[in-house]
């Protein structure tokens, strides 16, 4: 966390060290992002963004549309809608960064800056979409060398095509200069590079559900997003009906080593397959995923 704090200071981000394992980034008059180390499973840095506005229970339907549109269009943060009672409606976002392989300072900066800037963009979009919500001041907050190894390098399609066979994926289709498609365990996957630069792995589940079922399917995706910090699940509507997509995004502007790239791809595939499996069982009672 000390290295992250120093990166934030160099980038001139307002950052408060709350405790040894937590940093706070204020978003004045809108909310805050807290960064902490999570070691319960794969070690990761977790960004948690919350707003300071008061949301109305009557807006849950509109908020559901907002959350789904954001998760559909934006890589981070993944938004979660909590609606336990009329007095407690919350919208929060999370982003994560895996740190198991001792990331370089450049990799930390490449994850930190987009996470904070995207969190600010989410809060601005929320207040723009719901101008009627009260803008109250953010709550008062307490005051408060790179490791040797493989050299990270830029991620491109050539490196993806080299890495996928190491995961047992030998048949894939290159659809453009920026995307690769393949079927894995009866699920269509897309591996795409955007101008973040980021590596986006997308899983497609097409149950062709009627559009009137949107809220029910959205809530299933929302519940899955609440308990999972890896992929982001959301609804997608096309000519055949309502579908489900899961996105796993990895920031690559700091480059990845070969082992980091293989690790990222493996975790993405695992997260998306488990997500499709869980969401499908809760939606239609069965899963398209065929486990060995």
Q: Please tell me the predicted confidence (pLDDT) of residue 66.
A: 95
Strands 16-19 and 22-27: antiparallel
Other C-beta atoms within 10 Å of 177: how many? Answer: 8
Comparison of pLDDT for 147 and 129, the residue scoring more: 129
- Looking at domain 157-284, its CATH architecture is 2-Layer Sandwich (3.30)
Where exactly are the structural domains of the chain? 2-129, 157-284
> Strands 179-184 and 44-51, how do they pair?
unpaired
- Domain 2-129 indexed as CATH 3.30.1460.70: yes
Among residues 149, 160, 36, the alpha carbon closest in space to that of 101 is found at 149
Task: Give the Cα separation of 8 and 17 in Å (integer).
Answer: 11
Distance CA 68, CA 32 (A): 21
Please, which residues bridge with residue 80 across strands? 92
Mean pLDDT value of segment 118-137: 82
Report the C-alpha gap between 165 and 172 in whole angstroms: 10
Q: What are phi and psi of 77, to 5 degrees?
A: -75, 160
Tokens 């060995």 locate to: 292
Give Rg (Cα) of the chain.
19
First to last CA, the chain: 39
| pLDDT tens digits along 105-118 | 888 888 899 999 99
Q: Residue 84: its pLDDT value, please?
A: 64
Considering 1-5, 75-79, 83-87, 146-150, the range whose residues carry the highest mean pLDDT is 75-79
Whether the full predicted model's pTM is greater than 0.85, yes or no, is: no
How high is the pLDDT of residue 85? Answer: 57
- Give tens-digit pLDDT for 28-75: 888 999 999 887 767 788 999 999 887 877 788 899 999 999 999 998
Domains 2-129 and 157-284 share a fold: yes
Q: How far apart are CA 17 and CA 20, in angstroms?
A: 7
Choice among 111-120, 148-157, 164-173, 193-202 with the minimum mean pLDDT:
148-157
């Amino acid at each position: 966390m000390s290295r992250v704090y120093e990166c934030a200071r160099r980038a001139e981000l307002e950052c408060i060290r709350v405790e040894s394992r937590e940093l706070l980034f204020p978003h004045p008059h809108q909310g805050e992002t807290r960064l902490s180390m999570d070691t319960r499973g794969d070690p990761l840095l977790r960004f948690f963004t919350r707003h300071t506005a008061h949301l109305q229970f009557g807006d849950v339907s509109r908020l559901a549309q907002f959350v789904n549109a954001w998760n559909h269009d934006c890589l981070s943060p993944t938004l979660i809608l909590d609606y336990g009672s009329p007095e407690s409606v919350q919208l929060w976002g999370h982003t994560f960064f895996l740190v198991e392989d001792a990331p370089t300072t450049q990799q930390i900066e490449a994850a930190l800056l987009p996470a904070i800037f995207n969190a600010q963009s989410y809060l601005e979009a929320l207040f723009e979409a719901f101008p009627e919500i009260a803008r109250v001041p953010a709550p008062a907050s307490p005051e408060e060398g790179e490791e040797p190894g493989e050299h990270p390098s830029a991620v491109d399609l050539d490196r993806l095509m080299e890495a996928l066979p190491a995961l047992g994926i030998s048949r894939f289709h290159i659809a453009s200069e920026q995307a690769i498609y393949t079927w894995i365990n009866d699920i269509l996957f897309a591996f795409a590079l955007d101008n973040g630069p980021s590596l986006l792995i997308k899983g497609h589940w097409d149950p062709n559900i009627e559009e009137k079922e949107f809220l029910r399917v959205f809530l299933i995706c929302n519940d899955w997003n609440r308990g999972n910090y890896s992929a982001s699940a959301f609804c997608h509507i096309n000519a055949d009906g309502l579908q489900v997509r899961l996105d796993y995004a990895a920031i690559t502007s700091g480059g990845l080593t070969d082992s980091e790239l293989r690790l990222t791809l493996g975790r993405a595939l695992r997260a998306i397959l488990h997500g499709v499996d869980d969401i499908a069982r809760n939606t239609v009672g069965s899963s398209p995923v065929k486990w060995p």
